[in-house]
Structure formats: C-alpha cells, structure tokens
Amino acid sequence: MTLFNLGAREAGHYAEPVTLADLVEQGEARSVVLESGDEVAALKPYLNRLELVVLRFPIFRDGRGFTQARELREYLHFGGEIRVEGHVLPDQADFLKRCGVDSVVLPEGSDVRPWERQLKRYSVSFQRSVLPEKVLDVGTRVAR
C-alpha cells in the first residue's frame, strides 16, 4: 500500500488500528478504525491517547466519512492523524482535506498524480472548512 499525504502532516507509523468495539476492551490502543456507520462521539473517552483515527470508506459514494472527519476536528478537537482507507477517488482529495483528513491509503502502485493535481486545482472555496484558510473580502469566500 501507498500512503498519500493530503496536507503538511506526514503520515505516521502506528500499531495496527483496533475496531471501535475492541477499543472499549483495549483502552490502551493508540489507533482505531471506524466504519462509516460508527459514531465519532464514542471516541470521546479515549481522545487523549488516540494518535490515529482511520475512517474506512466502503465505497466512494458513502459520504459519511466526511462528516466523521469534520466532527472529529470540529466537535472533539482531535489533533492526531485522520487517515482514510477503502474505496476513495482522487476527485475527492480536496473534500477529504477540507474536512480534516491528513492521509489516504492507496493500493500499491497507484498513480498519485491525479491526487496531487486535485489538491492544487482550486484557488478559492465558497464555504469555511476546518482548515485555517484565509478569508477573502468580507468572508463568503476563502483563498486556498
């Protein structure tokens, strides 16, 4: 597999993430993998030791992971790494990044150029995100 970084944070090396159910049993685990139906709020008791949250996309059309990432950043103020694995498309790179995702797991040998292109594509967005983006004019748009 290949790890692709969406932003400045370098993907770290962690022990194999445990499932949400196992996290309850093994409170010492530092990385967890959430399925798209899992509630992010369930991570609250473990936040201070979690270093990595992996969000699994069963298929690229299942957009729950975007909300999970955003809740992690905006509601739980999670400062560790958020990683996405499963079926995602390079066309989603910017959306993932703006919801707070740091890295994406790609199949070995994937062409990362479409991912790189997508991250450079837009110089403006029309809504605020969890990233510290610079507000343009009075604030309906942000610079990228």
Query: Residue from 42, 95, 105, 112 that binds another protein (CB under 8 A)?
Result: 95
Phi/psi of residue 21, nearest 5 degrees? -65, -45
Decide if residue 98 touches another protein (CB under 8 A). yes
Can you tell me the distance from the alpha carbon of 70 to that of 76, in angstroms, rounded to the nearest whole number? 9
> Site for another protein (CB under 8 A): which residue of 1, 8, 13, 123?
123
Q: Round to whole Å and give the CA distance between 102 and 114.
A: 17
Closest CA to 101 of 125, 85, 89, 117: 85
48 or 123: CB nearest another protein: 123
Rounded to the nearest whole angstrom, what is the least distance from the CB of residue 26 to another protein in the complex? 26
114 binds another protein (CB under 8 A): yes
Tell me if 89 contacts another protein by CB under 8 A: yes
C-alpha distance from residue 26 to each of 8, 12, 18, 78, 89 (Å): 31, 21, 8, 20, 33
> Which of residues 10, 67, 79, 116 is near another protein by CB under 8 A?
67
Q: How many CB atoms lie within 10 A of CB 86?
A: 18
Minimum CB separation of residue 42 from another protein in Å reads: 13
Alpha helices in the chain (DSSP H): 20-25, 64-74, 93-98, 113-120
Is 14 an interacting residue with respect to another protein (CB under 8 A)?
no
Residues in the chain: 144
Selected binder of another protein within 2, 74, 79, 116 (CB under 8 A): 74
Note the residues at the interface with another protein (CB under 8 A). 60-64, 66-68, 70-71, 74-75, 89, 91-92, 94-99, 111, 114, 117-118, 121-129, 136-141
